[in-house]
Amino acid sequence: MKLYGYFRSSAAYRVRIALNLKGLKPEMAFVHLRHGVQGQPEFTALNPEKLVPALAVDGQVLSQSLAIIEYLEETHPTPALLPADPLDRARVRALALAVACDIHPLDNLRVLKHLKNAMGHSQEEVDSWYRHWIAVGLSGLEARLAGDPRTGRFCHGDTPGLADALLVPQLYNARRMDCPLDGFPTLLRIDSACRDLPAFIAAAPENQPDAEA
Amino acid sequence: MKLYGYFRSSAAYRVRIALNLKGLKPEMAFVHLRHGVQGQPEFTALNPEKLVPALAVDGQVLSQSLAIIEYLEETHPTPALLPADPLDRARVRALALAVACDIHPLDNLRVLKHLKNAMGHSQEEVDSWYRHWIAVGLSGLEARLAGDPRTGRFCHGDTPGLADALLVPQLYNARRMDCPLDGFPTLLRIDSACRDLPAFIAAAPENQPDAEA
């Protein structure tokens, strides 16, 4: 297996957490998103969507962080990142998708660049956009997690799993952009519990070989 | 089961297709997104994320269209919407997520409203934003589907499945906004094959009880 990522890509960060939780150590390749390497032919031949992460495995290249993590779950089921019961699995997947579909896509690099370069927004306006969607999305997640007895030390019970692998990178991004997080005590508590674990520490952007200051 | 949806919600449309492919007929409830019903207490008590679709089942409320469809797949496995092989499942999920994460979130109603009302863009600028992300996202999907021998009459082989349930609503939206689709012959061919099927016809926005002109 070979993982194509970028230290600060939140989607690559998710996959690194999942790999670490499962004790898997693929070869790592680095795609410098700010230098535009994702749009160069050698990478688009691998992933025409021009996005990281991508996982090369068995002669194929898998894309989309959640599809990659589901693949890892199916092929390396222990330890499980999803609970066993279908209703619980739906809960965990919904928490993960609330990050992957409702928060992150609005705040990723290509969107922020488009707002600034193509639509003429100031950095202040772009930052305000960013914080708006973080606040909206995290509010929904906080309500969902705080009000549910299935929430434990982690997003679902007392074992880290898929939803935690999505939450932690999203909060990392939120902090980088100085988003106010006081209103999300449940998210902060879970994030803190996760970031004590070796799998999450080793996956953190600042601990990657391609990390920059 | 009770599905909370809105005729024109692309995410609800996906779930309707999946339900129809599996021959499931839940009770239907209608949440008028343009009238803001998703933000009223009776609905936010069900789904604090204020989004449709939501599926009430066994005393719980599931959210996020992909989590709902995975739940249906696990609890009603026949006919399958995902192939059996893990690499193929990853491919189909990645196609679905390319729509769910990389196209739709940028073009949904709340985002378009925010661009117009909070950020002061004209309708023309909002439309241009919409078409930009449709073009970027569909280009990636077209490249991925056209270049892969696993693509058949449908996104994966000759049986409709998860990726088709995501593609068709996205193309419906693209057509509503007059996005140019000439550059996506593979997507159009698959979309046409899908829209010949009763499951897709019955799921179409114009065929819902809450449809408006």
CA angle A170, B50, B1 (to 5 degrees): 110
Q: Is the pLDDT of residue A199 over 90?
A: yes
Residues of A within 8 A of B64 (CB-CB) are: 93-94, 97-98, 101
| Domain identity same for B127 and B195 | yes
CATH number where B190 lies: 1.20.1050.10
CA distance B51 to chain A (A): 10
Looking at A28, A48, A79, the residue that finishes a domain is A79
| Domain identity same for B69 and B111 | no
Tens digits of residue pLDDT in A33-59: 888 888 888 888 888 777 889 999 999
| Domain identity same for A27 and A95 | no
Burial level of A84, CB count in 10 A (0-12/13-18/19+)?
A: exposed
| Domain identity same for B91 and B172 | yes
CA distance A80 to chain B (A): 16
Average pLDDT over residues B7-25: 97
The verdict on residue A210 lying in a domain is: no
- Residues in CB range of B62: below 8 A, 6 or more apart: A87, A90, A91, A94, B54, B55, B56, B68, B71
Using the beta-carbon criterion (under 8 Å), do A97 and B66 form an inter-chain contact?
A: yes
Looking at A79, A108, A143, the residue that finishes a domain is A79
Q: Which residue of A48, A64, A144 is in closest CB contact with B143?
A: A48
| Domain identity same for A95 and A61 | no
Looking at residue B25, its pLDDT comes to: 96
Looking at B79, B102, B134, the residue that finishes a domain is B79
Q: Which residue of B64, B97, B129 is in closest CB contact with A98?
A: B64
Q: Is the pLDDT of residue B41 over 80?
A: yes
Using the beta-carbon criterion (under 8 Å), do B111 and A106 form an inter-chain contact?
A: yes
Residue-number span of the structural domain to which A35 is assigned: 2-79
| Domain identity same for A94 and A124 | yes
| Domain identity same for B152 and B191 | yes
Inter-chain contacts counted by CB atoms under 8 A, chains A and B: 131
Looking at residue A49, its pLDDT comes to: 74
Residues of B within 8 A of A119 (CB-CB) are: 121, 125, 129
Q: Are B62 and A87 in contact (CB under 8 A)?
A: yes
Most B CBs within 10 A among A97, A125, A170, hence the mutation to make, goes to A97
| Domain identity same for B24 and B54 | yes
Q: What mean pLDDT, rounded, does chain A reach?
A: 94
CATH number where B11 lies: 3.40.30.10
Looking at residue B186, its pLDDT comes to: 98
The verdict on residue B211 lying in a domain is: no
Using the beta-carbon criterion (under 8 Å), do A49 and B140 form an inter-chain contact?
A: yes
Average pLDDT over residues A162-166: 98
| Domain identity same for A167 and A93 | yes
Looking at residue B213, its pLDDT comes to: 80
| Domain identity same for A73 and A90 | no
The verdict on residue A151 lying in a domain is: yes
Tens digits of residue pLDDT in A99-153: 999 999 999 888 999 999 999 999 999 999 999 999 999 998 999 999 899 999 9
Looking at residue A163, its pLDDT comes to: 98
Residue B135's identity, in one-letter code, is A
Q: Which residue of B48, B58, B90 is in closest CB contact with A68?
A: B90
State the total domains in chain A. 2
